[in-house]
């Protein structure tokens, strides 16, 4: 299983790379006209925050490398079991997929698929739960379309 130490070190590396990238992008902020000479430059605050983030990330990374943890129990895993990992990550994929379906094919296909796909990835086999979720989907859709007048379809 993925350990907290490994996952955190990867996350910290990503934060450090992102901080460096965004700090470099901030160097290109251009203020035109009279406002250019007034007050502090626009890059000041983002770069200050990025520096703080990098500093904290460095400290967290150091703690993981030296102590193996940064406050939480040592050698704890990110997921308690393989099933938990599969269900959580699959649900994340379902959320992204449904967003893509909505954007490309419209609301109705997304609304119809969201419930059943979610239940499938969570390993639900009870038909009653599928019916309940579809009924709730229909209810929510009706509230927004007819109750609030939102153009969903």
Q: Which positions from 73 through 112 interact with other proteins, judged by CB under 8 A?
A: 76, 78-80, 83-85, 87-88, 90-92, 95-96, 98-99, 102-103, 110-111
Site for other proteins contains 16 (CB under 8 A): no
Q: Which of 66, 127, 148, 153 binds other proteins (CB under 8 A)?
A: 148
Nearer to other proteins, 88 or 109 (CB): 88
Q: Measure the CA dihedral 110/115/120/124, to 10°.
A: 180
Place of tokens 């009706």: 142
- Which residues, 6 or more positions from 43, have their beta carbon under 8 angstroms from its beta carbon? 26, 27, 29
State the minimum distance, in angstroms, from the CB of residue 78 to other proteins.
5
Strands (DSSP E) found in 20-144: none
Which x/- pattern, by CB under 8 A, does the window 123-142 give for other proteins? Answer: xx----x--xx--xx--xx-
Residue 98 and residue 110: Cα distance in Å, rounded? 5
Q: How far apart are CA 52 and CA 54, in angstroms?
A: 5
> What's the min distance (Å) between Cβ of 20 and other proteins?
13
Radius of gyration of the chain (CA): 23
Span 37-76, contacts to other proteins by CB under 8 A: 38-40, 42-46, 49-50, 52-53, 56-57, 59-60, 63, 70-72, 76
């Amino acid at each position: 299983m993925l350990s907290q130490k490994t996952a955190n070190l990867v996350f910290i590396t990503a934060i450090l790379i992102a901080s460096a990238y965004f700090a470099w992008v901030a160097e290109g902020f251009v203020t035109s006209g009279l406002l250019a000479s007034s007050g502090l430059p626009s890059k000041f605050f983002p770069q200050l925050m990025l520096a703080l983030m990098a500093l904290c990330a460095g400290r967290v990374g150091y703690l993981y490398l030296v102590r193996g943890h940064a406050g939480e129990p040592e050698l704890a895993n990110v997921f308690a079991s393989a099933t938990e990992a599969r269900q959580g990550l699959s649900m994340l994929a379902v959320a992204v997929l449904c967003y893509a379906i909505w954007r490309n094919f419209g609301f109705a296909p997304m609304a119809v698929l969201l419930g059943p796909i979610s239940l499938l990835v969570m390993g639900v086999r009870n038909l009653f739960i599928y019916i309940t979720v579809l009924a709730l989907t229909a209810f929510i859709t009706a509230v927004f379309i007819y109750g609030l007048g939102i153009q969903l379809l």
